[in-house]
Chain A
Amino acid sequence: MKNRLEELRKARGITQEELAALLEVSRQTISSLEKGRYNPSILLAFKIARYFGQSIEDIFLYEEDAQ
């Protein structure tokens, strides 16, 4: 699933390590999320959305064709 995580993180001026520490996940998880290789659980998606002050749909871009 495509997402805007990298864009939002860079706009905040924080590193993957810092975001990982804030969300209490590993840096590899952030990296995999940004590359679209890993889809987060609904709980992590909510945590990410809350941190960036946006809705889940605004961050994670669901494409029906990709499923």
Chain B
Amino acid sequence: MKKRRNQGWVPFLLGLALLLGAWLLLKLIPGLDAEHWRVVPFLALGVGCGLFGSGAGELLAAQAMKKHPELQKQQEINQKDERNVALGNAAKARGYDLMTFAFGAMLLFSALMEADLLLTLVMVAVYLFIQFYTLWWRFKLEKEM
């Protein structure tokens, strides 16, 4: 339980710091109109909100679990349950297969539509990275199993 609470504090505090940072950048620092800096406070605001929400959720869940240890035990069982793990992995595998197909189709359309070449190349690089990452895991698992 201690580990869970510690995990929640890090994103909670980091999110809070980013939100404060974004507010400071927007309100207190004048001359933020420079093209390159305009996006920074909003980026900090977006990431900060996400981290703050996720951290607060973790902390609240840990607090609830503290009062009901039987719930925590059940949650741990559900997370480690081999059928749940198998279902999750099978669902992810199906999603990955579809993503590969959809990503390939998107690249094809991007090329046919003569979209920005740099953007298309970045997407191709990401697509290839995912494919090689899959292959890498395949070889790694072949050695282990």
On whether the two chains bind one another, the answer is: yes
User: For chain B residues 67-107, which have a beta carbon within 8 Å of chain A?
Assistant: 77-78, 80-84
Give A17-51 as 1s and 0s: 1 = Cβ < 8 Å from B's Cβ atoms.
00011001110110010000010110110000000
Closest to B85 in A: A41
Cβ A24 vs Cβ B82 within 8 A: no
Which residue from A26, A38, A43, A44 sits with its C-beta under 8 Å from B77? A26
B83 in contact with A29 (CB, 8 Å): yes
Q: Give bound CA distance, A24 to B79, whole Å.
A: 11
B82 & A29 in contact (Cβ 8 Å cutoff): yes
CB-CB under 8 A from A25, the residues of chain B are 77, 81-83
Tell me the complex Cα distance, A60–B80, Å. 23
Sample of 7 A–B contacts (CB below 8 Å) = A20-B77, A24-B77, A26-B77, A29-B82, A29-B83, A41-B82, A43-B82
Give the B-binding residues of A (Cβ under 8 A): 20-21, 24-26, 28-29, 32, 38, 40-41, 43-44
